[in-house]
Structure 1
């Protein structure tokens, strides 16, 4: 069923507008939930499938690698063929890959299925936000994006709790199988979403750019995870060559996957650079914290998931207010202050696992959640506002790709950098000091992100349009 948008877009409060936001939130929530819910299940997966730390990193990074590499292509595909159509196809593919994850008998099969999930998510993720940007009338977009950001972030924050509940009371396999009914509900909601596309979209897709982006990120990720001679240096060289070639090809390609002109806007470039730092810290923090609480603190999977509940509450209550603050003051203040508050929260988590929850975890995760709630909605709105509407799919893809690439690289690099390898993650005496070093590194990334925003982001980007 194809529903054409009204002239100028639909109102957020109309039935069509509500379906647009609901479908976008649920679909995006699928990818965000899956990006965090797996962390709580990693220890159980390792025990059940006899997986090493490197294999567990690939369970996380196989998904992120495919998603970060192909999400720009997914955004371009939606702009060309229809954002709703590509969104629905990605949702169905995501459900099928999730089924394969839930049935995986070995770590290798699970990693392959996670890569398939990432490929499907690359079509699904950019379409969720691009549907809002393309179908909702301009006067309502900021509010709709705030709703999408807040509820989507809740899905990501709820991942550890949902994962813990499923692991403790069913099996780690249900962490993936739960996606099937959620995907079915998403497809049903999307039936009433107006179809939108870019009338000036490229007549063909940039397959060379997609291949080079995948090669570059894959080489860098392998080198960071494996750290062995001679394959790691060779992989690093291939990764660097792939990324350099990607930049060259995109500059010369007539219809590039990534429009180089987008980065000519200083605010767009700065917001994405800050996204790389902040989401790298966010991904690494959640990866290490869930292991720390279970291995050092003796938490069950459910208890480790519940430990992050204050983060969910902060997002639920305050994410939309963060968006309103950004619209009122401009993005510079929340994009600078948010990461600094998050860094303070990370430092408060240095006692996690060794000290009681109310002292070692609760203050830090709450402060971290306050900073995240201040940051997420203005960041998303800033990236989209700095790009032309006709490039909504590509701009959304860039934002998502950078966020996933930040997590991908941080999760790949930090374990070995802080002294973890093989099966040492299961030894409290080794994991505990490594966790402390990892938290200091995450705090440093967040501080750098806040300083970068203050120095580079314009304060006048989010001016509401006159209706």
Structure 2
């Protein structure tokens, strides 16, 4: 890739322009991972589609994103990061427009699912290219802080998604997709103006490897996504996961024998890269899952309006953002090892604290400063302190200029971690909620059917309906609040466990930066 101008202020201005444009681009993809969540009831009502159809619209985006990351990374390295970033941005804008234009009637479900799937493909093509451009826009000594800010803002978009969706839906649910169109235009203009033309590296695309990896990842992610709804013993869950895992093994074998593979497996021999990738995986188990469970916890247990659940996410994000800056500065000076250790320890403490206080509901949940503010800040700080540094460290270990390829690997791992966390925690939370709520509803004169409807409302994407089901019975309403809080504790304890693994992984990190200078 053609380097940016090397002279002081000019380089700084150019790099900041590149950074701003690609933050906009990547933010679209992270927002769309979560923005549909709180808009689901409105979409279902207006399009007259089933909850299962809407869930497939959500899943299709996540499936295709995970499946095409590796191909997107390879294409970015071969065809040029600028070109692939623009293709991805344009595709994301067009497919977002198509999502918002979903017609009512019998074509609604297939139209929305197909458009969301193509959205995911566009995001997978864009993301690795965007990361590669940002990495090469900053010198190594400033890269940690630049990437920290990049990942802080784009990570915040994951949190903002549900809140933005709730507010935009008050106008029309279609606006949650249309908002991407002007963002895509702005990102494309900035990319065209600020990013120099680049040439890709010599080589060819391993189409067979791309197909095998896409099938493998789609099967594994699909199985994980359905585990919460179908149960881990369902053949529809474990068969796709098992077949997908075997296909991944097949993919590794193919890559070892292919002269120009989709992924250069030599990078896996770098212990620092391997540990960075594992740390990213376990941190994502907590990071991706916490937004879903905090959103439901805020609405069901704390009785907050949809928009006000953003308070919980904002507290978490403040801790994340502040710690990300501190962690990146320490990473630039001392490498990843101490940052990962500190982040893992702080994150473990924060999530344990959050779990211990989750069932104590006797406070003003609408106040910004209350007894849950501090555990949320600490939990966010733990992930923020290490999340950007491990991403940057992995990219710094790229072989040659394969930034697109390496960013695709790390983002694929991030997606797997998030999918596994959601699947595992959703199963555990649903099991505990069903047990506790059935006992509670029966104790206040309700039926098992009432309890089942409440559980389905909470876990099926419409948490506000759970309160409505119990609205005529104060005791039943309190049972829904307290029992979901008790069930959510399981997820928060699980997140603490994931961060404890991150802390343990720090001991395997090589000392110092250990990064190689890419050519």
Report the TM-score range of the alignment, normalised by the length of the smaller protein. 0.7 to 0.9
Q: Counterparts of 1:152 and 1:231 in 2: how far apart (Å)?
A: 34
How far apart are residue 433 of structure 1 and its match? 3.7
Change over 3 Å in CA distance of 1:7–1:311 after alignment to 2: same
Change over 3 Å in CA distance of 1:312–1:180 after alignment to 2: same
The counterpart of 1:194, out of the listed 193, 196, 209, is 196
Counterpart residue number, 1:457: 509
Q: Is 1:448 the equivalent of 2:501?
A: yes
Q: Counterparts of 1:441 and 1:48 in 2: how far apart (Å)?
A: 37
How far apart are residue 257 of structure 1 and its match? 1.3
Contact map agreement 1:164 1:305 (CA 8 A) in 2: no
Counterpart residue number, 1:219: 219
Q: Counterparts of 1:369 and 1:257 in 2: how far apart (Å)?
A: 35
Q: Counterparts of 1:117 and 1:281 in 2: how far apart (Å)?
A: 25
Unaligned runs of 5+ in 2: 432-454, 467-479
How far apart are residue 302 of structure 1 and its match? 0.7
Counterpart residue number, 2:376: 365
Secondary structure in 2 aligned to 1:390?
Answer: coil
User: What are the Cα deviations for residues 321-345 of structure 1, in whole angstroms up to 9, with x where unaligned?
Assistant: 3211111222111112213322322
Contact map agreement 1:9 1:137 (CA 8 A) in 2: no
Contact map agreement 2:144 2:331 (CA 8 A) in 1: no
Counterpart residue number, 1:118: 120
Counterpart residue number, 2:74: 76
Question: After the TM superposition, which residues 37-436 of structure 1 pair with which residues of structure 2 at under 5 Å, given as runs?
Answer: 37-42=35-40, 44-45=42-43, 58-104=56-102, 105=104, 106=108, 109-167=111-169, 169-192=170-193, 193-199=195-201, 201-202=202-203, 204-224=204-224, 225=226, 226-227=230-231, 229-350=234-355, 351-352=357-358, 354-356=361-363, 357=365, 358-359=369-370, 361-419=372-430, 423=457, 425=459, 426=463, 427=466, 428=480, 431-436=484-489
**Cα RMSD (Å):** 3.0
How far apart are residue 198 of structure 1 and its match? 4.2
Number of residue pairs matched by the alignment: 459
Contact map agreement 2:358 2:486 (CA 8 A) in 1: no
User: What are the Cα deviations for residues 289-339 of structure 1, in whole angstroms up to 9, with x where unaligned?
Assistant: 112212333222211123211233334444223211111222111112213
Higher relative contact order (CA 8 A, sep 6+): 1
Change over 3 Å in CA distance of 1:43–1:244 after alignment to 2: farther
**TM-score, scaled to structure 1:** 0.88
How far apart are residue 260 of structure 1 and its match? 0.6
User: What are the Cα deviations for residues 53-88 of structure 1, in whole angstroms up to 9, with x where unaligned?
Assistant: 766654444322221221121111111111011001
Secondary structure in 2 aligned to 1:461?
Answer: coil
Q: Is 1:16 the equivalent of 2:14?
A: yes
Change over 3 Å in CA distance of 1:275–1:437 after alignment to 2: same
Q: Counterparts of 1:376 and 1:12 in 2: how far apart (Å)?
A: 30
Q: Counterparts of 2:344 and 2:216 in 1: how far apart (Å)?
A: 28
Contact map agreement 1:10 1:135 (CA 8 A) in 2: no
Contact map agreement 2:288 2:421 (CA 8 A) in 1: yes
Q: Counterparts of 1:450 and 1:108 in 2: how far apart (Å)?
A: 44
Q: Counterparts of 2:200 and 2:512 in 1: how far apart (Å)?
A: 26
How far apart are residue 166 of structure 1 and its match? 1.9
User: What are the Cα deviations for residues 231-290 of structure 1, in whole angstroms up to 9, with x where unaligned?
Assistant: 334323322222221221122222211111010000101110111111121111111211
Q: Counterparts of 1:28 and 1:10 in 2: how far apart (Å)?
A: 27
Secondary structure in 2 aligned to 1:5?
Answer: coil
Q: Counterparts of 2:423 and 2:7 in 1: how far apart (Å)?
A: 42
Change over 3 Å in CA distance of 1:410–1:45 after alignment to 2: farther
**TM-score, scaled to structure 2:** 0.80
Change over 3 Å in CA distance of 1:412–1:109 after alignment to 2: farther
Unaligned runs of 5+ in 1: none
Q: Counterparts of 1:44 and 1:355 in 2: how far apart (Å)?
A: 31
How far apart are residue 457 of structure 1 and its match? 1.4
